[in-house]
Amino acid sequence: MSTAPAPSAKPVDTRGLAGQTVGDTSICAVTQTELIYRGYEIADLAENASFEEVAHLLIVGHKPTAAELAAFKAEVASMRAIPTSVRDAIVRVAKESPNAHPMSILRTGVSLLSHLDPDCEDNSPAAGLRKSKRLLAQIPTIVGACQRTLDGQSPVDPDPSLGHAANLLWSITGKKPDELAARIMDVSLVLYAEHDFNASTFSCRTIASTETDMHSAVCGGIGALKGPLHGGANEMAMEMLKDIDRDCAGGKMTVDPKAINEWMQRAFAEKRKLMGFGHRVYKNGDHRAGILRRWGLKLAEKQGPSSKKWFDMGDEVQAIMLRDKNIHPNVDFPCGMTYFIMGIPVPQYTPIFVAARITGWCAHIMEQHANNRIIRPLASYTGPMGLHWKA
């Protein structure tokens, strides 16, 4: 008796290294249901840890004691000022090139810092830790100097009395944030601090594997994070909501679900890429998204209808995406709304991402340097063979 041949298996799409394990790390684990920083789950950290505690956990390698945390916070706060030459360069670029993306300006600022860092060419663990702390401290100052210049204002000096998140907001806006705004920013930094071998972190590790310096690797990470398919997604998500508001609300404080549904159906028909949704790993939803939405909604409800409408609109968009496409939001979606109602200019969303992710990048760079082998994968060649140059 003959049997029918078994159907051939559908080929696995491994483009972008999808599904491939490319190395070991003790820093972070990402699964369909959990995000873990050195053993601690993200919901636990977002609820109970400050960003400074998480930064210590990632960079130094363990949960700090009360004494260690106090010393770490004081040390990082003392490092926030940037050299005058770097500050002047940031101001000049922002003034003379107002269309330059803040991520590009930040990348330049980090590169300039490298020339003045006494540990730049030293890849030892002790030097790596010192550089990590300086970058953690100085990146918010660069971000603030850039935005203040774009706003036609002079940069403000870092405030050592403020925590990391509050000082970041102070540097950008020149205003001392209230407790809720500082807490929301702190939570967002915790959520964005680390995410295993994502595109920017893998870029940092690949660069570091050549045994080049930390600043060079971080510049590569900034370049990778700038892309709209990675860190820039939070900017694009907010721009999408602004388009929906313009087309469906016309500045009104109320949301029209029917108009939003019609807008979404047109976007689907036009195959428009809707940012802030879907994730390579989290097929059943990014658990960071719900955490940040809850905090952002607290601020929106405190501020009133003009802020609350963005979350009402976002909830409609989210429901339609889940109903029609079975796609969940990722953390970039509520981030866009939350930062917007905090008064942060959209182009600064991704630089703020850097202010958080620098902790994960530096941890990975140090881990790569500590047990290094140059990252050099093979390629599957698909071009012609056997050609002859001379007939």
Q: Among 279, 287, 328, 364, which one carries the catalytic annotation?
A: 279
Give the pLDDT score at 5: 54
Q: Cα 274 to the chain's mean position, in Å?
A: 18
CB 188 within 8 A of CB 335: yes
Q: Among 119, 213, 286, 332, which one carries the catalytic annotation?
A: 332
pLDDT bin (cut points 50, 70, 90) of residue 7 is low
The tens digit of pLDDT for each residue in 62-87 reads: 999 999 999 999 999 999 999 999 99
User: What does the DSSP 8-state code read for residue 277?
Assistant: B
How far is residue 329's CA from residue 356's CA, in Å, rounded to a whole number? 20
Residue 239 burial class via C-beta count within 10 angstroms: exposed 0-12, middle 13-18, buried 19 and up: middle
Dihedral angle of Cα 111, 142, 43, 32, to the nearest 10 degrees: -40
In whole angstroms, how far apart are CA 256 and each of 248, 322, 348? 7, 18, 29
Q: Among 122, 230, 312, 315, which one carries the catalytic annotation?
A: 230
Spatial CB neighbours of 20, under 8 Å, sequence gap ≥ 6: 14
> Facing residues of 28 across strands?
37
Give the pLDDT score at 49: 98
Give the pLDDT score at 286: 84
Q: Cα 191 to the chain's mean position, in Å?
A: 9
Residue whose token pair is 């004081």: 74
What domains does the chain contain, in order, with CATH numbers?
76-227+348-370 (1.10.580.10), 233-341 (1.10.230.10)
pLDDT surpassing 80 at residue 2: no
In whole angstroms, how far apart are CA 310 and each of 133, 275, 330, 338, 347? 36, 16, 17, 9, 18
pTM beyond cutoff 0.85: yes
pLDDT surpassing 60 at residue 214: yes
Q: Using a pLDDT cut of 70, give the percent of the chain over it.
A: 95
The tens digit of pLDDT for each residue in 99-146 reads: 999 999 999 999 999 999 999 999 999 999 999 999 999 999 999 999
CB 292 within 8 A of CB 341: no
- Copy the structure tokens of residue 315: 């909830």
> Facing residues of 41 across strands?
36
pLDDT: which is higher, 277 or 173: 173
122 classed as catalytic: no
Lowest-confidence range among 166-175, 186-195, 330-339, 350-359?
330-339
Residue 378 burial class via C-beta count within 10 angstroms: exposed 0-12, middle 13-18, buried 19 and up: exposed
Interaxial angle between packed helices 179-192 and 51-59, expressed in degrees from 0 to 180 and rounded to the nearest 10: 20
279 classed as catalytic: yes
Mean pLDDT calculated for residue range 223-248: 89
How far is residue 138's CA from residue 188's CA, in Å, rounded to a whole number? 19
CB 288 within 8 A of CB 191: yes
* Element housing 190 (H / E): helix 179-192
pLDDT bin (cut points 50, 70, 90) of residue 172 is very high
* Element housing 87 (H / E): helix 84-96
